[in-house]
Amino acid sequence: MKRLFRGKDDQRVDHEEGVQEDGNGQQTGVQSDLELSHVGPYEIIAPIGSGGMGTVYKAIDRSRDASVAVKVLDRRYDLDKKRRKRDYLGREILIASALNHPNIIRMSNQIVEQEDRNGNVRRCLIMELVDGHNLRRFIENRELSMRQMVDLAIQLCQGLDFLHQHGIVHRDIKPENFLFSRDLSKVKIVDFGLSKSDSSWRTRWFKEGGGTRRYMSPEQLAKKSLDARSDIFSFGLTLYELFTGRHPCPGPGANDIMRQLRDSRFRFDLPSKHNPEIPPHLDRIILKCLRRNPNKRYQSVTELLLDLQRVAEARI
């Protein structure tokens, strides 16, 4: 399949204006030489992914025959004072280690510090391993049935709903941050490095940059305050790609995509135009997530979940 958006357009930007991170989470971008031989009791086996914050490795504790995933924070985050202060890894652990839901990745609640091969102390996060792929793989391969896609979408919604119910906005919802085991029995949301948690989040809306531009809501692109409905827009983009194999904005350039995302005069094609198997009800669901005005979107993932469950029931 032709990929219109590769490389830079997929990159995550962090809070420092103009700083670009490699955010496509593809195996191809992963460093091949291992930076570390072990982390705590775990022997590093192989890199399995990378994103804006660092590289994720498969690792094993041989004495217990236990496999885990280890995220090693990129050195840039320790070298740059501003970024060090933001403490993305600490934030990720603080937010995600306390969450207990089948569709949210489990992780230890402590940062492990480990010396790398060059003698630098590296900060690492230990997570449950999902031996499989991220959602990008299914978007490219188009090997899932409608039924499987609807089922995955429902499970992701359940995880996202749980997050929002706990006052957390993910802020970097995109295919690379959704993981699946090979047999699809595990479906997990990952990457809470940009997430926000605040008990008063409903009233004290967030005003902070960061995210992946081609998955940003119009309000996030405009650097306006945002809430959980911004995640719903990003999730709508992800659903559009899952069900059709393409992003709704044809670009061609990154700036064109950002304009198309923000401008309500640019009409997204009906998803079913690109995949005739999509029923009209699902067309409406996806496009409702993608309304530019947050007040016209789903106001909660719970509502979205109910609608998706109706699609699933209608097809059984």
Ligand X SMILES: Nc1ncnc2c1ncn2[C@@H]1O[C@H](COP(=O)(O)OP(=O)(O)O)[C@@H](O)[C@H]1O
Active site residues: 172
In angstroms, what CA-CA distances link 222 with 210, 218, 261? 12, 6, 11
| 23 versus 236: smaller Cβ distance to ligand X | 23
Q: Three-state DSSP class for 109?
A: coil
244/246 Cα distance (integer angstroms): 5
| 47 versus 294: smaller Cβ distance to Mg ion | 47
Closest contact distance (angstroms) between CB of 16 and ligand X is 16
> Binder to Mg ion among 191, 227, 231, 241 (CB under 5 A)?
191
- Cα 11 from chain centroid (whole Å): 12
**By the rule CB under 6 A, 54 interacts with ligand X:** yes
Binding footprint of ligand X, residue count (CB under 6 A):
24
Q: Considering only the stretches 2-10, 58-66, 175-183, 246-254, report the one whose residues sit in contact with Mg ion under the rule CB under 5 A.
A: 175-183
49/81 Cα distance (integer angstroms): 26
Binding mask 56-85 for ligand X (x = CB under 6 A): x------------x-x--------------
Q: Three-state DSSP class for 290?
A: coil
Token readout for 261 is 């995302």
Q: Considering only the stretches 53-61, 252-260, 284-292, 307-315, report the one whose residues sit in contact with ligand X under the rule CB under 6 A.
A: 53-61
Q: What do you get for the CA distance between the two ends of the chain, in Å?
A: 30
> Binder to ligand X among 191, 219, 231, 241 (CB under 6 A)?
191
The DSSP-derived string for 6-27 is -GGGGPEE-SSTT-EE-----G
**By the rule CB under 6 A, 177 interacts with ligand X:** yes
Instruction: Count CB atoms within 10 A of the CB of residue 231.
Output: 24
Q: Which residues bind ligand X (CB under 6 A)?
A: 23, 25, 48-54, 56, 69, 71, 105, 127-130, 134, 176-177, 179, 190-191, 193
Q: Which residues bind Mg ion (CB under 5 A)?
A: 51, 177, 191
